[in-house]
Amino acid sequence: MNNKEILKMKAGRELDLLVDQMVMGKKYPGIRGFVTSKKAVDNATKVPHYSTNVYFAERVLEKIKDKYPIILQGTDYWECQVFLPTGTTVSSKLNDLLSLAVCKAALLTVLEEESPTKIEDSSKEIILKLTRMLSKG
């Protein structure tokens, strides 16, 4: 997964599951700690709606705010910027939902923190599993 893919993501369960695992640290049994078993899929339906609900997005914001300075700005469109100690600034760009801006910035922050190879390898498997899970209902 790269910056462009994250910035293109829409609010919804796929984004919520990625945030739950990669930002909030939730572990699911299976491939690289992600969903494979029926029980894990059932549990995944209990994932908070981070990308569409400000109440849950605030949890994500608090987790990142504990480590890095953040600017959150907007009225009709929202942007969340995170300032990393390396001098890099990650930005969610403009989003119509505050919660979506927070989730994208959080994932971009994780992408910057982790090795790109690790995220690239696991993201393909994650997207495949999510697509299968979401298509089943």
State mean pLDDT over 37-52.
72
Type of residue found at 108: L
CATH 2.60.40.10 is the classification of domain 3-135: no
Helix (H, G, I), strand (E, B), or coil: what is residue 3? helix
| Residue 28 near residue 21, CB atoms below 8 Å | yes
The least confident of 3-17, 18-32, 66-80 is: 18-32
Tokens 């369960």 correspond to what residue?
A: 13
Examine the pLDDT at 77 and tell me if it is beyond 80: yes
Position 27 confidence tier, pLDDT thresholds 50, 70, 90: confident
Cβ neighbours of 28 (radius 10 Å):
22
Q: How many residues does the chain have?
A: 137
Alpha helices (H) in the chain, listed in sequence order: 3-8, 13-22, 38-44, 54-65, 98-113, 116-135
Is 88 a residue whose pLDDT tops 90?
Answer: no
The residues near 48 (Cβ < 8 Å, ≥ 6 apart) are 16, 20, 56, 59
- The verdict on pTM exceeding 0.95 is no
| Overall average pLDDT of the 42-51 stretch | 79
Does the pLDDT at position 99 exceed 80?
yes
Sequence letter at residue 29: P
Which residue, among 20, 22, 41, 19, has the nearest Cα to 30 in the 3D structure? Answer: 41
According to DSSP, residue 10 is labeled P
Q: What is the per-residue pLDDT for 40?
A: 55
